[in-house]
Amino acid sequence: MKVQEIFDLAIKVGIENDPRGTKEVANYLKSVRKDYSELPEKKKKEFDKEKLTNPYSDSKFQAGDKNKAVKRVMVGIDIGTGGVLLAKELERQGKKIDLIIAHHPVGKALADLHEVMDLQTSVYAKGGVPENIAEGILREGIESVARRIAPVNHYESPMTAELLGISMINIHTPADNAVWKFVSDYIEKKNLKRVGELVDILKEIPEYKKATELGAGPVIFSGSEKSRLGKVLVSGMTGGTDGKAHEKLYERMAHYGIGTEVAMHVGDEDRDEAIKHYINIVIAGHIASDSLGLNIIMDELEKKGIEIIPCSGYIRYSRVKK
Ligand SMILES: [Fe+2]
Ligand SMILES: [Fe+2]
């Protein structure tokens, strides 16, 4: 497979698992194309044309050659300069890395991270929170995230890859969509009553089982093992990151009948609000959840005969039937 084909495949998996649904994603792309066509020429020049076909602003081609044939990939949760140098060192040791795949955004994908956050509106809407309310609360966060990441040195590791002639992409929301769908469907199929049961069944998933051994598995941040679950919403899994005012969502979640939230991570303000509104929080584990999402995409590469070398915390587990 070529670099571009791998990237396109990841976007396809992301769309298939998108909380908005494939139709809504198509509508979103249509609206981006319409907005673009209405831009004045000067603004059109500044516009990132990739946004016309890729609905995930936080996932991009980062460095190297899009047409390069790939047989071996190195995949990590965070790829900084050290990660890029690791790929070069592996090559020196006889394991040539054709492509680096990072999960967390770098480069322009980091600069544009906030643009995927509106997707979270659909996640909360699935749990019963009206779209206008979720959108209103999330909007404050989107703007604050944009300001927070604006001064960052976005291009540090992509520049290293470019200098060393290594190809690099990053896949963020497509992988997070995949874990969101996987965990949501998994929980829905079980008839669970208490928070402790939810934690137990999460630990049966290989990535979370491994993370538990590593000290970063599922834990309860609000509520207790004996607490009644109520309606479960997997809400902190996809859509970029959490922004300012995120804690305001808990009052609404309680109001619209959500009893338990499953998330990758939450802040202390979130936890305080959840406790105040009697919402349980189960933290599935950040890196384990990111790994599970990536695994769903990497399985597709494995099926095409590509070798996967995990690094930077990535827990590789294959679901490919052998
Ligand atoms: Fe993630
Ligand atoms: Fe993450």
Kindly identify the ligand whose nearest atom is closest to the C-alpha of 240.
1
What are the tens digits of pLDDT across the range 167-192?
999 999 999 999 999 999 999 999 99
The strand pairing partners of 307, in sequence order, are 72
| DSSP state at residue 283 | E
The strand pairing partners of 2, in sequence order, are 69
Q: What is the mean pLDDT of the chain?
A: 96
Task: Say which residues have a Cβ less than 8 Å from residue 78's Cβ, sequence separation at least 6.
Answer: 102, 103, 104, 312, 313
CA gap 30, 32 in Å, rounded:
5
How many residues would you count in the chain?
322
Locate 33 and state its tokens: 């194309």
Task: Give the distance (Å) from ligand 1 centre to CA of residue 236.
Answer: 10
What are the tens digits of pLDDT across the range 252-290?
999 999 999 999 999 999 999 999 999 999 999 999 999
Task: Give the distance (Å) from ligand 1 centre to CA of residue 291.
Answer: 8
pLDDT band at 121 (very low <50, low <70, confident <90, very high): very high
Given this model, what pLDDT does residue 243 score? 80
From the candidate CATH numbers 3.60.15.10, 1.20.1180.10, 3.20.20.450, 3.40.1390.30, the one assigned to the domain spanning 179-285: 3.40.1390.30
Given this model, what pLDDT does residue 265 score? 93
Locate 77 and state its tokens: 């949760």
CA distances from 212 to 74, 141, 283, 310 (A): 24, 31, 12, 18
Token pair 């599935």 is found at 284
- Start-end of CATH 3.40.1390.30 domains in the chain: 179-285
What are the tens digits of pLDDT across the range 104-113?
999 999 999 9
Task: Give the distance (Å) from ligand 2 centre to CA of residue 252.
Answer: 25
Task: Give the distance (Å) from ligand 2 centre to CA of residue 129.
Answer: 24
Locate 241 and state its tokens: 């990151």
pLDDT band at 140 (very low <50, low <70, confident <90, very high): confident
